[in-house]
Amino acid sequence: MPSGTQSARFGRGRNPEPTVDPANLVEALKQRALALGFDPVGVAAVPGGPRMELRSAALVRWLQQGDQASMAWMADPRRRAAEALLPGVRSLLAVGLNYHVAAERPRGALKVARYGWGRDYHRVIDGRLRQLGRWLEAEVPGCRWHACVDSAPLMDKAWAEEAGLGWIGKHGNLIHRRKGSWLLLGHLLTTVALPPDRPAVPLCGSCSRCLPACPTGAIREPFVVDSRRCIAFHTIESREPQLPAGIAGQLQGWVAGCDICQEACPWNQQPLESSSDPDLAPRPWWLSLSADALEWSDAAWDEHLRASALRRIKPWMWRRNLRAALGRPEPEPVRKPLPRVEEP
């Protein structure tokens, strides 16, 4: 799990007060975040306002309904208590990294979710957050901090909303009014009290285009995504040997993740800035993935997936997903011949 340095994370003593003006400190911190490629950025006070309590209650209901499927880590109690990740936390810097790249797939190419096109965003965001943490510690000696990407047990979208980065849409993704929902999120928890920003105002209104757009009906109701019906869950997280028929028959070419609900969102259909961040530039093979990949060896998959967030999809899972998307039956399991028994 991403974290700060040992001294930054586990420092002892009382929470230090900054010797510089807090407003100047937070502005300088935001400017450094912007210089590292993050945009938007915002600050929330911990434990947050009334909306965080509602988001926490919604998470509990989601878990009780089994919508997490086999993702048991979603029930980690620390997810609803930032204090468990950093004792004494008082503030949180939320950052977004735009991963929208103006690149198109050739007609007929198999589809991979946009967030996986570049380098592993966990490494990219964590490394940049650590730079911010070290800078903050230099400005406020003795403070502690903790860097979080979505692999950490934190309600990342809810905290981003609390910090004013955007609002959680009906498809469950954070939406920014100028950047749409193509945002990777990161958070820097700190024991320094920073002036918070206003929470974002939801702007989905009566729009619900994302719900009928999902071919498997995974968005059961506004703001509720059932992982058991979600293409992204089944192609990335599920370790079952075969995809369920109801999923396999609705892939529409998706073999790693799914962007259908985001593509249907009007906020993503406006002219959007294309990221020029080299860490997010797509590898050419992501855009031209074809049936030829079924012939790749495990070693070839290992080479293609180096430093990729989609490395968690094992080679056998890629083949499973590819066959399902191409409508090809699973190969018959190899049966070893029974040992020959010599008659006496």
Give the catalytic positions in this structure: 150
Distance CA 120, CA 51 (A): 31
* Residue carrying the six token digits 């990294």: 97
Give the torsion sign (CA, 36, 134, 312, 251): negative
Backbone angles phi, psi at 176, to 5 degrees: -105, 140
* Residue carrying the six token digits 């809810």: 158
Tokens of 198: 């206003």
Q: Which residues contact 40 (CB under 8 A, 6 or more apart)?
A: 95, 96, 164, 165, 166, 176, 179
Distance CA 99, CA 216 (A): 25
Q: Which residues contact 204 (CB under 8 A, 6 or more apart)?
A: 167, 169, 170, 175, 222
